[in-house]
Amino acid sequence: MRKIIYKILILLSVIVSSGFSFSQVRCGTFDYENYLRQKNPDFGDALDKTRRESINANSINYKNDDETIYYIPVVFHLVWNTPDMNLDDSLFHSQIKTFNEAFNHNHKDTNKIRSIFKPVAGNARIIFYLAKKDPNGKPTTGINRVKTKKGDFGNNLYAETVKYSDEGGADAWDPEKYLNIWVCRFTYNGIMAVSAYAFPPVNAKYWSSSYYKDLELQGVVVNYPYVGVKNPNDVMQGSMREKTLIHEVGHYLGLRHIWADKNNCTGEDDGFKDTPLCSKQSTNCQANKNTCNEGSGDKPDMYENYMDYSAYPCTIMFTQEQIKQMRWNLLNLRPKVGSTKIDNSIPASESVYFYPNPASSQIKINVDKQGLYTIQLTDMLGQNIDKAIFNISESYQYKYNISDFSSGIYQIKILYGSKTVVNQKLFIQ
């Protein structure tokens, strides 16, 4: 009975603190942090001290003219049970593209930022890419597919068991070298109340491994409908869509919600002067919303901010101070996950691949670069069967129709420009 009451209280805390309704699914990071505080009070003390230290140190030490670009390898652990959960690779590629547009502020709708906030919008100069090597040094697509017998990883609103293979999930890849994102289904009594949540950065002098031991928990967990552009499973009104994971990676890099989850205009703020004070989250692009009056120079609530709850397509910016904080945290609280270059030691042929093989009607070709590609298909005698040219600019995937070809073994060669990136056998059924 005590356990049931505790779960009900957790659900109520999400409804109250996150503005949850059954037509909206919200971030669970704040409530997840409270869950961790309840498990171990020392965790909360360490987290609070870490935040204060990082904000203070950032304001003193950060160099505004630092143009260094940092690269973060990402692994998506897709833990699926039913076909609808087994997301197409193109959704992960489109999510990476959305990450990079958001964190580098080069998406097409930057002009929609209200003029009062355009001067504080910024470029984080952080680039994400699908990991090219697994922890054993072998080539990977950065998408780790794990079929599980568990149809729902929900547990107190969260899905911590998805982070362990012996619980039906997937073990983390070294969190000091990869951004781990677990994709699964997790609900509370069948209700998908939380879209995603992140583990905050805690690697500071106040942190002790005795507070919360499992490094393997570091990363983001997301419900499968909220990955990628135009995910067919996302039918929820008020969804943040592909912006959901941008919001969570902001948490992963140490940002708080812009209203600091306090629901009033006094007390602790999110720590940044260029995000106007607000008392609660936004849920839409309400231009005249102003929940806190700060007197001279007062500004409306910044619904454009990725760390708000505004539904798609409202959120379109990080502020310069938020960016400074993320970069400082990346260097000091997650110092090994980012580097100044992409690891390109895997041959190009491993970065482009097709599936399925064998195939009957169509293969999907996934690539990691935009540009012009050529397919050359020959039979086993070397006779030309087909040639196709395609240009990649958006989805990072091309669908090649093979339904007109007879069953048999073929040789497929894929060229990027004049460079061969795939040269292998294709089995057509």
Mean local confidence (pLDDT), 293-307: 95
Q: What pLDDT score was predicted for residue 67?
A: 82
| Domain at 386, CATH number | 2.60.40.3080
Q: What pLDDT score was predicted for residue 48?
A: 78
Residue 199 DSSP label = P
Could you tell me if 241 and 291 lie in one domain?
A: yes
Mean local confidence (pLDDT), 331-344: 85
Could you tell me if 161 and 55 lie in one domain?
A: yes
Q: What pLDDT score was predicted for residue 304?
A: 97
Could you tell me if 322 and 377 lie in one domain?
A: no
- Judged against a pLDDT cut of 80, whether residue 62 lies above it is answered with no
Highest mean pLDDT (candidates 12-16, 157-161, 208-212, 355-359):
157-161
Could you tell me if 256 and 386 lie in one domain?
A: no
Could you tell me if 43 and 176 lie in one domain?
A: yes
Q: State how far the Cα of 193 lies from the Cα of 26, in Å rounded to an integer.
A: 7
Residue 343 belongs to a domain: no
Three-state DSSP at 371 gives strand
Closest CA to 222 of 201, 242, 200: 242
Q: State how far the Cα of 36 lies from the Cα of 98, in Å rounded to an integer.
A: 30
Count of structural domains, the chain: 2
Tokens in use for 309?
Answer: 């709850």
Three-state DSSP at 421 gives strand
Q: What pLDDT score was predicted for residue 351?
A: 65
Who has greater pLDDT, 101 or 350? 101
Could you tell me if 282 and 352 lie in one domain?
A: no
What would the pLDDT profile of 247-287 be if each residue is shown by its tens digit? Answer: 999 999 999 999 999 889 987 789 899 999 999 999 999 99
Could you tell me if 256 and 360 lie in one domain?
A: no
- Percent of the chain predicted with pLDDT > 70: 87
Could you tell me if 84 and 159 lie in one domain?
A: yes
Q: State how far the Cα of 356 lies from the Cα of 206, in Å rounded to an integer.
A: 49
Among 332, 363, 385, residue at a domain's last position: 332
Residue 309: pLDDT band by 50, 70, 90 thresholds? very high
Tokens in use for 125?
Answer: 């100069």
What would the pLDDT profile of 236-249 be if each residue is shown by its tens digit? Answer: 878 999 999 999 99
Query: Burial of 386 by CB count in 10 Å (0-12 exposed, 13-18 middle, 19+ buried)?
Result: middle
164-168, 183-187, 343-347, 380-384: least confident range: 343-347
Average pLDDT for the chain? 85
**Neighbour count for residue 158 (Cβ, 10 Å):** 20
Question: Do the Cβ atoms of 11 and 25 come closer than 8 Å?
Answer: no
Q: What pLDDT score was predicted for residue 352?
A: 80
- Judged against a pLDDT cut of 80, whether residue 6 lies above it is answered with no
Mean local confidence (pLDDT), 1-13: 38
Which amino acid, residue 309? Y
What would the pLDDT profile of 20-32 be if each residue is shown by its tens digit? Answer: 444 457 898 888 8
Query: Burial of 413 by CB count in 10 Å (0-12 exposed, 13-18 middle, 19+ buried)?
Result: middle
- Judged against a pLDDT cut of 90, whether residue 40 lies above it is answered with no
Q: Are strands 143-147 and 70-80 parallel, antiparallel or unpaired?
A: parallel
- Judged against a pLDDT cut of 60, whether residue 114 lies above it is answered with yes
Residue 337 belongs to a domain: no
What would the pLDDT profile of 162-185 be if each residue is shown by its tens digit? Answer: 999 999 999 999 999 999 999 999
Residue 342 belongs to a domain: no
**Neighbour count for residue 30 (Cβ, 10 Å):** 19
Kindly state the greatest CA–CA separation across the chain. Answer: 80
Q: What pLDDT score was predicted for residue 22?
A: 40
Residue 303 belongs to a domain: yes
Residue 44: pLDDT band by 50, 70, 90 thresholds? confident
Question: Do the Cβ atoms of 197 and 221 come closer than 8 Å?
Answer: yes
Residue 169 belongs to a domain: yes
Q: What pLDDT score was predicted for residue 392?
A: 84
Residue 408 belongs to domain spanning: 348-428
Residue 341 belongs to a domain: no
Among 332, 361, 392, residue at a domain's last position: 332
Closest CA to 252 of 307, 304, 290, 189: 307
Residue 130 belongs to a domain: yes
Residue 183: strand pairing partners:
78, 222
What would the pLDDT profile of 78-102 be if each residue is shown by its tens digit? Answer: 999 999 999 998 899 899 999 999 9
Q: What pLDDT score was predicted for residue 4?
A: 38
Q: What is the CA radius of gyration of the chain?
A: 23
In what side-by-side order are the strands of the sheet with 419-428?
384-392, 371-379, 408-416, 419-428
Could you tell me if 297 and 190 lie in one domain?
A: yes
* Preceding amide of 313 cis, omega within 30: yes
Among 266, 301, 332, residue at a domain's last position: 332
Could you tell me if 129 and 189 lie in one domain?
A: yes
| Domain at 239, CATH number | 3.40.390.10
HSE-up of 241 (CA within 13 Å, CB side)? 16
Could you tell me if 302 and 362 lie in one domain?
A: no
DSSP of 66-126: ----EEEEEEEEEEESSGGGS--HHHHHHHHHHHHHHHTT-STTGGGS-TTTGGGB----E
Q: What are 149-152's contacts with CB under 8 Å, separation 24+? A: 149/81, 150/79, 150/81, 151/81, 151/82, 151/185, 152/185, 152/186, 152/187, 152/190
Could you tell me if 413 and 274 lie in one domain?
A: no
Residue 114 belongs to a domain: yes
